[in-house]
Chain A
Amino acid sequence: MVSVGVNGFSCADQSESRIQGTGPTLPPGLPGLFNGSAAPPTRTGFCGRDGEGRGRRAAGGMNAVCGGAARTLRVPGRHGYAAEFSPYLPGRLACAAAQHYGIAGCGTLLILDPNESGLRLFRSFDWSDGLFDVTWSENNEHVLVTCSGDGSLQLWDTARAAGPLQVYKEHTQEVYSVDWSQTRGEQLVVSGSWDRTVKLWDPTVGKSLCTFRGHENVIYSTIWSPHIPGCFASASGDQTLRIWDVKAAGVRIVIPAHQAEILSCDWCKYNENLLVTGAVDCSLRGWDLRNVRQPVFELLGHTYAVRRVKFSPFHASVLASCSYDFTVRFWNFSKPDPLLETVEHHTEFTCGLDFSLQSPTQVADCSWDETIKIYDPACLTIPA
């Protein structure tokens, strides 16, 4: 029996949970962590909260989704971690989910299609451990890659009922992010792990091509540049955003972007020098890589950790973020009053978020309230 003391509570070892002596594998940046020092490299530090923020529901009025009702799929017993629209099929959505909040049990990859009445489950695939992120192939409409708590990546084929086709197991701890390269002529996947490494994969090759070291804490996010081949960004619990160059096999830029764990980052689709970070300090910050001494914008409004942030594929200065405060917020950083809209249609931590690549107004998100939603927020449907 191993006891692990973590920020005010201890956890006994339990073979059926993910708590096996390395510390309980709690999600990062949970409420109550904001003022602490850097969290240890586990899903630790949960101090709990009660009341505040909980039980809120979208109550209509200003914050209601006005562009049309959300299509919702309820997935009992599965907690959503990531949602990604297909780059090929309009409306098709993949969702990486985990049983029991990713702390214990299995995981499921869900493939959804919209239909007349809402969302239809096209296919689902189970995996032995919680799935934390998913990315679609950029050269085959059937193929996706997921990553999981057991340190592995999985390659799936939506045209088959069974899977995964392949499993790549090299990371030694939870893998929290996967991303398929966006630039033409490259078909590479990056994965970011709690083992503090980033690995580069060619999915047709059974082992990683390269391992990138340097982060001093767990890695939560790895995203390819949409413009510069072989260039990707990573965000970490070490409070830095790093820019890497595959050709140089090393780090190009280290940005101490927050004084808190950084859970997410993304590239602007219309400015190759611009990135955004989202952190446990509740803020979003924009970074111009030509001068990273201070952020070019800061967006405040979330009341708990920012779990994921993405730039719009259609608008240069529009982005969306989701948070442990249950909300999804839409921003235009070029405006004096940048917060465009707050969507409050979830009742738990909201972890997954994506913009449609086909419809300029459509968004998907997923939450630990066991629902996945596709909707058209008012701020995107009404021209500003």
Chain B
Amino acid sequence: MERPRSPRRSAPAPAPASASVTLSQLLHLVQQGQEIPGLERRHIAAIHGEPTASRLPRRPKPWEAAALAESPPPTLKIGTARAPAEPGLAEATTAPSSWHTVGS
């Protein structure tokens, strides 16, 4: 049976209380039922607030910007019908019918 071994640390740190327990040391402590040094017990609850109002517009993703740049000029007009996007970038309304699961 193999047991977790202590990973090497380059230097034994003169450390703050909560740090410096390696994963293996921690597993060993848990396994032995020993106290874990620096364990922080917190009991945090929701404050049930509303989010601060957004002030920034959504930025287009890089791939959306690229698709827009490649679209014909009329598509840049605001309020017109949506332009035909690049074939690979179309926002399909459903998953493509060409998708097949294994065994289907």
Q: Which residues of A contact B (CB under 8 A)?
A: 1, 8-14, 16-17, 19, 24, 26, 32, 46-51, 54-55, 76-77, 87-88, 99-101, 103-106, 126-128, 138-143, 154-155, 157, 159-160, 162-167, 182-184, 226-229, 231, 243, 245, 247, 252-256, 269-273, 289-293, 313-314, 347, 357, 360, 368, 370
Contact = CB atoms under 8 A, between A and B. Distances in A.
B76 interface: no
Contacts of A50: 5-8
Contacts of A182: 61
Contacts of B30: 11-12, 14, 17, 19, 24, 103-104
A49 B27 contact: no
Contacts of B41: 16, 105-106, 128
Interface string B43-76: 1111111111111101101110010000000000
A160 B102 CA distance: 48
A290 B89 contact: no
B23 interface: yes
B51 A272 contact: no
B42 interface: yes
Contacts of A167: 45-46
A140 B27 contact: no
Contacts of B10: 55, 347
B99 A127 contact: no
Interface string B1-37: 1111111101000011011010110110011110110
Interface of B: 1-8, 10, 15-16, 18-19, 21, 23-24, 26-27, 30-33, 35-36, 38-56, 58-59, 61-63, 66, 88-96, 98-102
Interface residues of B: mostly helix, strand, loop or mixed? loop
A99 B47 contact: no
Contacts of A252: 95, 99, 101
A203 B52 CA distance: 14
A78 to B, nearest CB: 9
Contact of A142 (B44, B47, B51): B51
Contacts of A370: 19
A14 B29 CA distance: 10
Contacts of B1: 8-9
A127 B23 contact: no
